[in-house]
Amino acid sequence: MVYQEKDELKSVKYGSQKNVNKTKEDRVDKYCMIVYNYTKIQYILEAHMEEHQDQSLRGQVFNKIRSDILSGRYAQGEELKEATLGEEIGVSRTPVREALRQLELEGLVEIVPNKGAHVTGISHEDVRDIYQMRSYLEGLAARWAAERISDEDINEMEEVILLAEFSLKKASKQDQMVRFDNEFHQIMYRAAGSRMMEHVLRDFHRYVQLARITSMKDLDRATKSVEEHKAILEAIKNRDGDLAEKLANEHILHVIENLALEDSSK
């Protein structure tokens, strides 16, 4: 009944099916432009080092400092001293300096001559923008997953949901909710069959790491998130791309709403 009412409202809004189809085409074009532009920027920044970044010393230092920034270990504006970071990580200042330059390209650090490197981090506005873009891409990922998913991926997603439900019942296990949430989405991205989209959404996950942890600490939101995952998976299993896209899009928008409520209560 709810979907029928929404369909009626949609019909009134656009006037005709022709306009509705045109709107869908425009939306897909917007998704494609987001993926193309973001991926192009990322490839330019990462250049030839991406393939070997995890194996190189610079890559390990880079990933460690970036993870600490995104997890909130370093506050916005905090100075990052090469010598101190080198001692903490157990490396010389050279790979730390190179990592900081790479982080500056990502916009997470600002390096000022004679003043050193300071954390820029991810602002509330950045988080909101990332979730807004992610909502579109998550919808498209769910649509493509409905078209391409394998039985093996379906079984994995069902297993992750069962583990998440178990964790919700155990107070000592609730800290694992972020991991299960991440696994659910990673499997869906893989099932969508787009390497470019998976790359973009994986980075989006990293950039809003702290916000995701905050959201999942809310037991009510964590419970609703699992229920939303179940609905998304059901639509994917039924090969209903329209519904899967709609539910995945709304799922991410609910996170924005939850974070907005938390900010207003502070």
The model's pLDDT over 143-171, given as tens digits with 9 standing for 90+, comes to 999 999 999 999 999 999 999 998 888 76
pLDDT at residue 48 tops 50: no
170 backbone dihedrals φ, ψ, rounded to 5°: -110, 115
* Pairing state between β 79-80 and 116-119: antiparallel
Which of 139-143, 220-224, 254-258 ranks highest by mean pLDDT?
A: 139-143
State residue 83 phi and psi, 5-degree precision: -65, -45
**Bigger pLDDT: 256 or 211?**
256
221 touches 215 (CB < 8 A): yes
Work out the mean pLDDT of the chain and round it to a whole number: 80
With 60 as the cut, is the pLDDT of residue 51 above it? Answer: no
Residue 126 has pLDDT above 50, yes or no: yes
pTM higher than 0.95: no
In the predicted model, is pLDDT for residue 14 greater than 50?
no
Strand partners, 112: 116
Q: Is the pLDDT of residue 4 over 50?
A: no
Amino acid letter, residue 38? Y
pLDDT band of 47, cuts 50, 70, 90: very low
Give the pLDDT band (50/70/90) at residue 192.
Answer: very high
The arithmetic mean of pLDDT across residues 130-142, rounded, is 92
Three-state DSSP class for residue 190: helix
Identify the pLDDT of residue 54: 46
Average pLDDT over residues 81-91: 92
Q: Is the pLDDT of residue 221 over 50?
A: yes
- Residue 251 pLDDT: 93
Q: What is the pLDDT of residue 32?
A: 60
Structure confidence by residue, pLDDT tens digits, 93-105: 999 999 999 999 8
The percentage of residues in the chain with a pLDDT greater than 90, rounded to a whole number, is: 39
**pLDDT class of 53 with cuts at 50, 70, 90:** very low
C-alpha distance across the termini of the chain, in Å: 38
pLDDT of residue 154: 97
Query: What is the residue whose two structure tokens read 């979907």?
Result: 3
CB atoms within 10 A of CB 58: 19
Higher pLDDT, 145 or 123: 145
What are the beta bridge partners of residue 109?
119
Higher confidence at residue 91 or residue 15?
Answer: 91
Q: How many Å apart are CA 182 and CA 202, to the nearest integer?
A: 9
Inter-CA distances, 101 with 43, 82, 87, 107, Å = 16, 11, 18, 10
- In this predicted structure, the answer to whether residue 262 has a pLDDT above a threshold of 90 is no
pLDDT of 186 above 70: yes
Q: Under a CB-based contact definition with an 8 Å cutoff, are residues 238 and 247 in contact?
A: no
Q: Report the pLDDT averaged over residues 224-236.
A: 96
Mean pLDDT of 109-122: 88
H helix runs in the chain, sequence order: 2-14, 17-46, 57-70, 82-89, 93-106, 124-148, 151-169, 177-192, 195-207, 209-216, 219-237, 241-265
